[in-house]
């Protein structure tokens, strides 16, 4: 346990592959075409199986995709979860094209989906920090801030936010940020 909110809810950090960690809902770092891809998106579709893409096909047929800064929910196929929330993070262009607000909106949308679906545990990868090039530390600050804000709301069903960091460097960034902000 790394951070406990005033309401007793927790932020947990884990290093590894998000597809292996059982939760109620797993967030994915998707693209606005909801077309699948590499990185964590590829891992989620490989491990979850084709049922997830079938649901995304239906969403795409209806609404054309998902705008940057938002997310859509599907079932989780063979993953150890009930839902996948496919979040579309911003591509990093230097930080002056609204990237911080768009990234924050992604986390907020996933946490709102969690609320709607009665989710108690939700995991997140470091959205936008791979192919989309968002600097790891700046992205981590936003992720942690939005998670804390949500957990401090006593009306949310979410009890645990799990950040799953793929590599050790990202894990260390999150650890030091959580320590330095845990009193705030």
Active site residues per annotation: 41
Q: Are 90 and 68 in contact (CB under 8 A)?
A: yes
37 binds ligand AR6 (CB under 6 A): yes
One of 15, 112, 131, 145 touching ligand AR6 (CB under 6 A): 131
Angle, helix 39-48 to helix 50-63, in steps of 10 degrees:
120
70 scored as a contact of ligand AR6 (CB under 6 A)? no
Q: Which long-range contacts (CB under 8 A, 24 or more apart) does 80-83 make?
A: 80/19, 80/20, 80/21, 80/22, 80/23, 81/22, 81/23, 81/24, 81/25, 81/26, 81/123, 82/24, 82/25, 82/117, 82/119, 83/24, 83/25, 83/26, 83/113, 83/117, 83/119
- Name which position in 164, 173, 177, 178 contacts ligand AR6 (CB under 6 A): 164
Nearer to ligand AR6 by Cβ, of 113 and 162: the residue is: 162
Interface residue with ligand AR6 among 43, 52, 122, 178 (CB under 6 A) is 43
Pick out residues in 90-119 that bind ligand AR6 (CB under 6 A): none
Under rule CB under 6 A, residue 30 binds ligand AR6: yes
Q: Is 40 in the site for ligand AR6 (CB under 6 A)?
A: yes
> Can residue 71 be called a binding residue for ligand AR6 (CB under 6 A)?
no
Q: Which is nearer to ligand AR6, 99 or 156 (CB)?
A: 99
* Cβ proximity to ligand AR6, 5 vs 178, nearer residue: 178
Our CB check for ligand AR6 shows the closer of 77 and 125 to be 125
Closer Cβ to ligand AR6, 20 or 157, answer by number: 20
Instruction: Please give the residue ranges that form the binding site for ligand AR6 (CB under 6 A).
Output: 17-19, 29-31, 37-41, 43, 89, 125-132, 164, 166-167, 170
């Amino acid at each position: 346990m790394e951070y406990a909110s005033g309401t007793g809810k927790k932020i947990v950090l884990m290093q590894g592959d998000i597809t292996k960690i059982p939760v109620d809902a797993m967030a994915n770092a998707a693209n606005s075409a909801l077309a699948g891809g590499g990185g964590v998106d590829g891992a989620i579709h490989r491990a979850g199986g084709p049922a997830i893409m079938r649901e995304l096909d239906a969403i795409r047929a209806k609404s054309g995709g998902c705008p940057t800064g938002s997310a859509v929910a599907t079932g989780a196929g063979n993953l150890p979860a009930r839902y996948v929330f496919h979040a579309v993070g911003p591509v990093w262009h230097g930080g002056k094209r609204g990237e911080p607000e768009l990234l924050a909106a992604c986390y907020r949308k996933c946490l709102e989906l969690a609320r709607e679906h009665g989710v108690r545990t939700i995991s997140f990868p470091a959205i936008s920090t791979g192919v989309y090039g968002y600097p790891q530390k700046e992205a981590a600050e936003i992720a942690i801030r939005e998670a804390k804000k949500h957990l401090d709301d006593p009306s949310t069903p979410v009890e645990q936010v799990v950040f799953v960091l793929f590599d050790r460097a990202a894990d260390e960034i999150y650890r030091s940020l959580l320590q330095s902000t845990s009193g705030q």
